[in-house]
Structure 1
């Protein structure tokens, strides 16, 4: 079930609307291609396992030998079905983890992880790409949303600018970020504790915990981003002077 969180009142009239979701070509590739690929892999696995089982040195030999023994038609059908289901799950996960935007001249709605959030255009201070992720900042420079977006930069910026949103080619606050060093001055102990917990979540790939802890940091007055294995932080706008 989709939940909604509103950042500002809903307009009383409908504006021109632009939907920036999964590009149609990519959507067809994922929704059709991944299940077909999974189906084919399911069919190909037993013969491949039988071929691998002849190798003199083979890790997980017992498991591979078992897969290679699935040579009956009904077993092949089950393997193909499991591959198809796996492909569908991968496609659904990829779609769910892709940020979708709905734009009007009055407001922007972000749809990510089955959660919709809306912010008035007047409250948006910057929109930019950070690698493959699209970032929308509110008036305090807080990250209103951040997520992987499939639309290329040129049509994305054109669509946003056509509705009056402040597109930036780079993060306008990039110079304020500091690499997190445990216990280093500049952050309160509570923020250090949150970043330490987030480091553990990143290492264990607990994506929901990673996102929740980033939100916790914003509640403390800091934005956090990742570069490789390192976490970087910056104060929210208006609080930056105290961290110079």
Structure 2
């Protein structure tokens, strides 16, 4: 018999808002640029006068039409990027599956999961050894997630991370880290500074293999050791 499944995904209203709202917002912002271009271009102290002077030199209605089209296309690109990163969480009695809009999936067996909680907008699966199996950006309804996991018997932790008091802020050369972890945290700090989410996620997994659990807050890294 097929296991029961509950899927938590972005609502249709939010999806529609993203596909419609981003293009409309992009078109509106560039229309505003055209609207103020003459005024800004005439200010000798204004920053970025060159681009505004260029916009002001385009005759109407070409400037307005072009701004609306380019802005809408730019917003559509953002909508596509958001769709590719959109997360759906499928909870079954025997496993949890994370699926991104780009088709990538990650699957976790129920027997490996000791707890589930939200840390801000991140969904975290705790392993049996106290480490984190995954920490996923999840712009999903918190109540729906809680209901889905609890209905399938997973230990939902409403108070958040049970290990929160064990974290220490990372500074270079911090004592207590296993060999190699400090170097990985240093590289990861640079990835966070550059907003390279993929590299930061890969480095998190490498740190996990060394027994180090890491999270970040405004690009500051905090770490703790996994239970042995």
Q: Same fold (TM over 0.5)?
A: yes
Cα distance in 1 for partners of 2:166, 2:133 equals 18
Larger displacement relative to structure 2 (75-84 or 32-41): 75-84
What is the distance in 2 between the residues matched to 1:134 and 1:186?
A: 27
Deviations 1:19-51 (A, max 9, x none): 111122211111111112212333332122223
Unaligned segments of structure 1, at least 5 residues: 1-12, 239-244
Secondary structure class of the residue paired with 1:218: helix
Question: In structure 2, how many angstroms separate the alpha carbons of the residues matched to 1:69 and 1:147?
Answer: 47
After superposition, residues 1-244 of structure 1 pair within 5 angstroms as 13-112=1-100, 114=102, 115-169=104-158, 170-238=160-228
Aligned length: 226
Question: Hey, what's the Cα distance between the residues in 1 that align with 2:37 and 2:90?
Answer: 47
Give TM-score, length-normalised by structure 1.
Answer: 0.84
String of CA shifts for 1:193-214, please: whole Å, max 9, x gaps: 0001111111122222111111
1:232 shift after superposition:
0.8
CA offsets 1:109-131 (integer angstroms, 9 cap, x no match): 01247320111222211111111
Secondary structure in 2 aligned to 1:182? coil
Offset from partner CA, 1:59-104 (integer Å, 9 cap, x none) = 0111111122233334433332221121112122223334320111
Tell me the distance in 1 between the aligned counterparts of 2:25 and 2:176.
50
CA spacing shift, 1:24–1:141, aligned 2, 3 Å: farther
For the 8 Å contact 1:38–1:87, the answer to whether it is kept is: yes
Q: What is the rounded CA distance, in whole Å, between the counterparts of 2:17 and 2:23 in structure 1?
A: 10
Partner Cα separation in structure 2 for residue 81 and residue 145 of structure 1:
40
Q: Root-mean-square deviation (CA), in Å? A: 1.9
d(CA) in 1 for partners of 2:39, 2:20 = 29
Using the alignment, how far apart are the partners of 1:226 and 1:188 within structure 2? 19
On the 8 A contact 2:169/2:220 being kept in 1, the answer is: yes
